[in-house]
């Protein structure tokens, strides 16, 4: 039984190796310094063990040279650790632009992942091997945290905000997926599995199952059902600004400020439309806070992203996931 006890986690992403390298560097340096201190303490404690009850220690009260040495050397080592850690973190924080998108909504106590092509899975995440994958995540209630130990990544998932993380799985297999931020009673049960598949198997998996509409198609249906186009007229002549090509474009607000229309801005404009008003328009739009859930908001945004001049309203989902394809 003891022989089966794992002592080191499986490594299954391009990042996990880099994290482990830094870990072993930290381990080596700190083990060396710790053992040095332990040895010194042990040697001194034995060698200078009191031999007579009236013995006292040597009259030594310090050394400037030593003080400088053990201030400067640890400082230099610490800065190396900082720089290495920061470089790794920089990679983690900056997903490649071509990454495949998956959208995750967390709620007490489950993970719901939506693939742009339309497949939805609960407490499971299927991804292809050797491909950059970016997760865009939000929470329907409290703070959660998506943690995949084999990939050495985690990120908090917050209500009312999108956070993201990315990885490139390097080895097919099944790996733990945990919630790492305490979220209430069944926090420990809010987990599942990440399945890394060969690309062909993944395409096969995507096309199987009860395949509904793609995210963009679902978004288009919502767009029609809630009559968004009544005000958001294509040529800009309606009560509300045109949404053609709005994603990623600069938007001037009534405050005079200019911002970029990203996911967070679109989400806020749907759920809390009065927070930021486009210059030249009046705050007339009702809030969809209690009408749409987070998955539907993601679908609407997916659809809005596809809206650009000269494009038909109906598109296929795969275009969203990877513009380069």
Partner 1 sequence: MSAVPPVEVEHHENYLNTSYGVWSWLLTTDHKRIGLLYLVSVTFFFFVGGFFATLIRLHLMTPQGTLVDAATYNKMFTMHGVVMVFFFLIPAIPTVLGNFLVPLMIGAKDLAFPRLNLASWYIFNAGGLLMIYSVMRGGLDTGWTFYPPYSSLYSNTHVVSAVLGIFIAGFSSILTGLNFLVTVHTMRAPGMTWGRLPLFVWSHYATSIIFVLGTPVIAITLALVGIERIFHLGIFDPSLGGDPVLFQHLFWFYSHPAVYIMVLPGMAVTTELITTFSRKRLFGYGFVAAASIAIAVIGFFVWGHHMFVAGQSFYASMVFSILSYLVAIPSAIKVFNWTATLYKGSISWATPMLYGLGFIGLFVMGGMTGLFLSALGVDVHVHDTYFVVAHFHYIMVGGTVMAYLGGLHYWWPKMSGRMYPEGLAKFAAVVLFIGFNLTFFPQFVLGYLGMPRRYHSYSPEFQVLNVMSTAGASILAVGYLLPMAYFIWSMRYGPIAGPNPWPGTGLEWLTASPPPEKNFEVTPVVTWDAYDFPNRHDLKYPAPTPGFTPAQTWPPE
Query: Which of positions 174-233 make contact with partner 1 (CB under 8 A)?
Result: 176, 178-189
Binding span for partner 1 by CB under 8 A among 65-73, 122-130, 218-226, 296-304? 65-73
CB-nearer residue toward partner 1: 142 or 278:
142
Q: Segment 75-114, which members bind partner 1 (CB under 8 A)?
A: 75, 78-79, 81-82, 84-93, 108
Q: Which of 18, 242, 318, 322 binds partner 1 (CB under 8 A)?
A: 18
Closer residue to partner 1 in complex, CB, 97/256: 97
Q: DSSP characters for 144-184?
A: EEEEEGGGTEEEEE-BTS-EEEEEEB-S-EEEEEEE-S--S
Instruction: Give the interface segment with partner 1, choosing from 56-64, 127-135, 245-253, 306-314 (CB under 8 A).
Output: 56-64
Q: Does 158 bind partner 1 (CB under 8 A)?
A: yes
Structure-token match 């719901």, residue found? 112
Tell me whether strands 100-107 and 132-139 are parallel, antiparallel or unpaired. parallel
The neighbour count for residue 163, using CB atoms within 10 Å, is 16
The interface with partner 1 within residues 243-282 (CB under 8 A) comprises none
Select the residue interacting with partner 1 from 17, 28, 74, 257 (CB under 8 A): 74
Three-class DSSP category at 291: coil
**302, 270 in Cβ contact below 8 A?**
no
Taking the complex as a whole, the smallest distance from the CB of residue 113 to partner 1 amounts, in Å, to: 19
* Residue 242, helix vs strand vs coil: coil
Least distance to partner 1, CB of residue 160, Å: 3
12 binds partner 1 (CB under 8 A): no
Secondary structure element (H or E) that encloses residue 15, with its range = helix 14-47
Q: Output the six-digit token pair for 262.
A: 């990203």
Find all residues with CB under 8 Å of 175, minimum gap 6, and list them: 10, 12, 148, 149, 150, 151, 193, 194, 196
Out of 103, 111, 147, 303, the only residue in the binding site for partner 1 (CB under 8 A) is 147
Window 26-55: residues binding partner 1 (CB under 8 A): 26-27, 30, 33-34, 37-38, 40-41, 44-45, 48-55
- Nearest Cα neighbor of 187 from 147, 127, 215, 230 is 147
CB of 168 to partner 1, least distance (A): 15
Provide, rounded to whole angstroms, the least separation between the CB of residue 33 and partner 1. Answer: 7
């Amino acid at each position: 039984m003891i022989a089966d006890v794992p002592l080191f986690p499986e490594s299954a992403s391009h990042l996990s190796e880099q994290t482990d390298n830094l870990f072993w560097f930290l381990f080596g340096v700190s083990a060396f310094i710790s053992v040095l201190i332990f040895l010194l303490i042990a040697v001194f404690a034995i060698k200078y063990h009191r031999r007579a009850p009236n013995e006292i220690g040597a009259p030594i009260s310090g050394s400037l040279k030593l003080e400088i040495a053990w201030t400067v050397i640890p400082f230099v080592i610490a800065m190396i650790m900082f720089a290495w850690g920061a470089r790794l973190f920089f990679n983690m924080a900056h997903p490649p632009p071509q990454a495949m998108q998956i959208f995750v909504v967390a709620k007490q106590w489950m993970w719901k992942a939506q693939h742009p092509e339309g497949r939805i899975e609960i407490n499971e995440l299927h991804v292809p091997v050797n491909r950059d994958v970016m997760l865009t995540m939000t929470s329907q209630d409290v703070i959660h945290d998506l943690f995949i130990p084999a990939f050495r990544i985690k990120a908090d998932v917050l209500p009312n905000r999108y956070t993201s993380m990315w990885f490139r799985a390097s080895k097919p297999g099944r790996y733990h997926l945990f919630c790492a931020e305490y979220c209430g009673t069944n926090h420990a049960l809010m987990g599942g599995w990440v399945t890394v598949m060969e690309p062909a198997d993944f395409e096969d998996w995507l096309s199987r199952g009860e395949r509904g509409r793609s995210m963009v198609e679902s978004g288009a249906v919502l767009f029609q059902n809630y009559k968004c186009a009544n005000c958001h007229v294509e040529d800009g002549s309606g009560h509300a600004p045109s949404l053609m090509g709005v994603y990623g474009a600069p938007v001037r607000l009534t405050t005079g400020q200019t911002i970029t229309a990203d996911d967070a801005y679109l989400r806020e404009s749907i759920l809390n439309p009065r927070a930021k008003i486009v210059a030249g328009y009046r705050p007339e739009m009702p809030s969809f806070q209690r009408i749409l859930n987070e998955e539907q908001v993601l679908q609407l945004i997916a659809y809005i992203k596809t809206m650009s001049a000269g494009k038909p309203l109906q598109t296929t989902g795969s275009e969203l996931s990877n513009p380069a394809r």
